[in-house]
Amino acid sequence: MSTPPAPSGPVLPLDEDPAAVLEAATWAMAAMVGTLHDALTAPLTEVLAADPRRTAVLEEAGLVRREGAALVPHPSLVPPDGPTARSAVEARLSSMRQALTAATGESSGGWAALDDRVLLHQGRASAAVGRALGSRIVPQLPGLGDRLAGDGGRILDVGTGVAALALALAEAFPRARVTGIDVLERALDLARGELAQASPGTADRVTLLRRDVADTSEQSAYDLVWLPAPFLSEAVLESALPRLVDALVPGGWLVAGAGSPSPDGLRRAVGRWNAARNGGSAHDADRMAAVLTARGLRDVRRFPTVPGGPVLVAGCRPRPN
């Protein structure tokens, strides 16, 4: 008699119900996000002490441990600064709302089918990427920091959404101008509301356009192009990348977001499903680097963000000989 193949997923005790484990994990995620949300306006130590039953869930999940009478949070509960903390909350809320939509069998018609709260949460979360680009990535890309620090620097933000990333880049480079493009008019309406609440000196340097990235036609116009690859289908990426390369000035850089290669099969499967539901792609950093190289970009570099988070892949348009 042949032996049945072993399951490829995590191995659970024979008396453990996988559905019950996943349900408990959902509540653990809710406890974590709720704690992070409350900690935006109060010290984390006070937040943990204020709701001991919720904190007990975090203990069981390995996010808090006790040392005597003290509660010691895992580093993932202690973002480096307030803006990063807010972006983390927005990102998790977006993920949870999308998961609820999937669970109820609601439309998977891409971002256009998601409600305004999801668009705002997801968009505001992208501000963290904008800040990382401005403070950590651009300084490591030869020549780019000087271009964006001077007059005439130009940035293209593909799939701008609610313009949070565009605003973060405009703040990081006070003399640069940012063009944000998106196909979804409703997202651009939300973006206009976000710009109206930003400081005029920053918002005035952000231009919003309704445009499909595959229709990009500028030649040698931008010093930096941001490409959120997971939010674009493979067909769109295929048609848009040559145009985006042409839109870079020689010596300019394209930076693409990509998934982090994960050894965890569950995370890989969830990433592929989520990308398919939202009309996106599941490019990981290895594949993204190969795609940029194949499109003629040089000096391709990779920049991890947070453990298990997206990887930013950058490539430079070569100067003519």
Q: Which residue has the tokens 């609820």?
A: 100
pLDDT band at 98 (very low <50, low <70, confident <90, very high): confident
**From 53-62, 91-100, 104-113, 174-183, the region with the lowest mean pLDDT:** 104-113
β-strand pairing of 177-182 with 311-316: unpaired
Q: What was the pLDDT predicted at 213?
A: 95
b or e along 222-241 (b: 16 or more beta carbons within 10 Å of the residue's beta carbon)? bbbbbbbbbbbbeebbeebb
Q: What is the pLDDT of residues 150-185, one digit of tens each?
A: 999 999 999 999 999 999 999 999 999 999 999 999
**CB atoms closer than 10 angstroms to residue 269:** 12
